[in-house]
Amino acid sequence: MLDIKNYIGGEFRPSTDGATLEDFNPATAECIANIPRSKASDVDLAVVAAHSAQAEWGARTLAERADWLVRIADALEAKHEHIAQTESMDTGKPISLARRVDASRSVRNFRFFAEFGREQSDVTFEMDDAMNYVHRSPVGTVGLITPWNLPLYLLTWKVAPALLMGNTVVAKPSEITPLTANILAETLDEIGLPAGVFNVVHGLGPEVGQAILEAPGIKGISFTGGTSTGRIVAKTAAPMFKKLSLELGGKNATIILKDADLEAAVNGAVRAAFTNSGQVCLCGSRILVDASIAEEFTQLFVAEVERINIGNPADADTVMGSVISPEHLEKVESYIKLGIDEGGIVLTGGTREMTGYHGPDGVGAFLRPTVFSGLDYTSRCATEEIFGPMVTLHTFDNEDEAIHMANHSEYGLAGSIWTTDLERGRKVAARMETGIVWVNTWLHRDLRTPFGGVKNSGVGREGGTWSMEFFSEMTNVCIKHPNPTS
C-alpha cells in the first residue's frame, strides 16, 4: 500500500487536515494507495511556494530551462519500466500500452519541448523608421488539471512547456490515477529542481480542483477532461481573466470510403475504436462506412474485434485490460442497454451478463469490446460520449452524407478518413468540423502540430508554438530608429 503525499515547496507532506482518499487498481479491485484529500488550504501553501520560486525560475534563460527539461527526460527515461508498471496498475491498461504510449510519450514530451524551445527565433517586425520585437515572459504560477485516461502522458504534455516558458506549476492529477504524478514529483525532487517550481496537490475535483480554479495567485489554467467539467472550469476561471486552455471530450468519426484499402481500414478502425479500452478522447467511436462495402467491412471489423486479447493487464501479450473503474464500467453497460433499447443490434460483445465475461480472474472492471449496428446516427449512443469499449457502425450512400453524419455532433475533436484517393481525402478533411483529421492513419502524432478541437471539444490548442504561446505573455517592444539627420 503506497502512502502518497502532496509535493509542495520541495517537501512531501500530507493534506493540512490529514484527510485521505483511497486509490484502487481497477483490474484487481485492490486498494493500492492512500492519497491526500487536499483542500483550498493546501492550494494556498502550493501557491505561496510557487510564488517564492517564480522570480528566480522565470529569470533563467529559455536555454537554461531547456537544459532542465533534458535532465527531466533523462531521469524519467531511467524509470521507464517503473512508470509503465505503475501506470498499468493505476489504470488497468495493458503493460504493453503503458510502455509503448504512456511512459515513452511522457519522456518524449520533455525532450520535444527542450529541442523545440531552443529552435525558436525571436519574432520581429521591421518598419521603415522602427523595429518591433516580441518579448516573451512567463504567465506566472499556472494550474494544470488532468484526467485519468493517460495520466502522466497528459500531465507532462502540460508541465514541459509550462516549465520551459518559465512558469511555476500547481498540478492536480485525477484522484483515481495519482501515482505517476507522484513519480514525476519524486523525480524532480531527486534531480534538484528548485523547490516551489513544481507542486502537486492531490484530491477531489470539486474540492482541490475547484480551489485551484479560484486561487487568485494562479494566473492560467490548462485543463484536460470532460466537457461538463470544462464548463465549470470556464465559468470559474473566465471572470477572473485567467488564461484558459480546455481540452475536452470527443465523439470522433472514422469514415471508410468505398475506395479504402479494406485491410488497412479495418485495422485502423479497430485500433481507433478500442485502444486504451476506448478511453482516449481521440478514439473513433462512430464508424461510418460506404453502403457498397458495408457488409464486407463489418464482417472483417467484427472478426478483428473478436481477436482482441482481453485479459490481465500485467501480461505482455494482453491488448485490452480493464476500464478505469467499476463506476465507469456501469456507465458503459448503461449505454449497451440503451443501444438495445434504441433498436441497435449487438454484433459482438455486450454487458457482462450477456457475454458471461467478468475478467481473467472474475474480478475487476473488465468489459468485452462491443460493436453495434442498426442505430441511427442521431441516436444517443451515436452522439453522446461513452468513452469506453463500445462503438456504433453506420452506413452512408455518398460523401456528402458521410460528412453530414460525421459533423452531426456537439463535439469536434478528431476524425479519420480511409481512402486510396488522397485528393478525395483532402477534400473530405477540409469539410470536417474537427481540430484534427487523420487520412489512412490514426493517432499519428507530430508534437509540433496544433492539438485540440472545436465545439464542445474545447478551446485552444496544445503542441509546439501553441503550447509556448499559451504558457507565456507577449510584450511587443517598438524601437524608433535614430533620426537619420541627427
Catalytic residues: 247, 281
In 3-state terms, what secondary structure has residue 136? strand
Q: Residues 47 to 66: which contact ligand TXE by CB under 6 A?
A: none
User: Given the complex with ligand TXE, which of 225 and 464 has the nearer CB atom?
Assistant: 225
**And the C-alpha cell for 364?**
475487476
Q: Which of 395, 369, 375 is nearest to 295 (CA)?
A: 395
Q: Three-state secondary structure along 344-379? A: CEEEECCCHHHHCCCCCCCCCCCCCCEEEECCCCCC
From 91-99, 115-123, 167-175, 285-293, span contacting ligand TXE (CB under 6 A): 167-175
Size of site (CB under 6 A) for ligand TXE: 29
Q: Residues 232 to 251: which contact ligand TXE by CB under 6 A?
A: 232-233, 247-250
CB of 22 to ligand TXE, least distance (A): 15
Residues 6+ apart with CB under 8 A from 70: 110, 111, 114
- Contact status: 443 vs ligand TXE (CB under 6 A): no
- Contact status: 224 vs ligand TXE (CB under 6 A): yes
- Contact status: 205 vs ligand TXE (CB under 6 A): yes
From 53-61, 77-85, 142-150, 314-322, span contacting ligand TXE (CB under 6 A): 142-150
- Contact status: 419 vs ligand TXE (CB under 6 A): no
User: Given the complex with ligand TXE, which of 165 and 233 has the nearer CB atom?
Assistant: 233
Give CA separation, 193 vs 57, 117, 428, in Å.
10, 19, 47
Burial of 270 (0-12, 13-18, 19+ CB in 10 A): buried
User: Given the complex with ligand TXE, which of 110 and 387 has the nearer CB atom?
Assistant: 387
- Contact status: 168 vs ligand TXE (CB under 6 A): no
DSSP category for residue 147: -
**9 φ/ψ sector (left φ>0, alpha ψ -120 to 50, else beta):** left
User: Given the complex with ligand TXE, which of 68 and 198 has the nearer CB atom?
Assistant: 198
- Contact status: 270 vs ligand TXE (CB under 6 A): no
CA angle 51, 57, 62 (to 5 degrees): 140
Residues in the chain: 486
Q: Which of 259, 311, 106, 258 is nearest to 188 (CA)?
A: 106
Q: Which of 100, 88, 103, 84 is nearest to 28 (CA)?
A: 88
Q: Residues 11 to 40: which contact ligand TXE by CB under 6 A?
A: none
Determine the Cα–Cα distance for residues 415 and 250; give it in Å rounded to an integer: 10
- Contact status: 277 vs ligand TXE (CB under 6 A): no
From 8-16, 171-179, 185-193, 341-349, span contacting ligand TXE (CB under 6 A): 171-179
User: Given the complex with ligand TXE, which of 117 and 453 has the nearer CB atom?
Assistant: 453
Determine the Cα–Cα distance for residues 269 and 445; give it in Å rounded to an integer: 17
Minimal CB distance residue for ligand TXE: 205
Pairing verdict, β 243-247 and 458-459: antiparallel
- Contact status: 172 vs ligand TXE (CB under 6 A): yes
CB of 249 to ligand TXE, least distance (A): 4
Q: Which of 131, 190, 206, 238 binds ligand TXE (CB under 6 A)?
A: 206
User: Given the complex with ligand TXE, which of 91 and 298 has the nearer CB atom?
Assistant: 91
What residues line the site for ligand TXE (CB under 6 A)?
A: 145-149, 172, 174-175, 205-206, 209-210, 213, 224-226, 229, 232-233, 247-250, 281, 385, 387, 413, 457-458
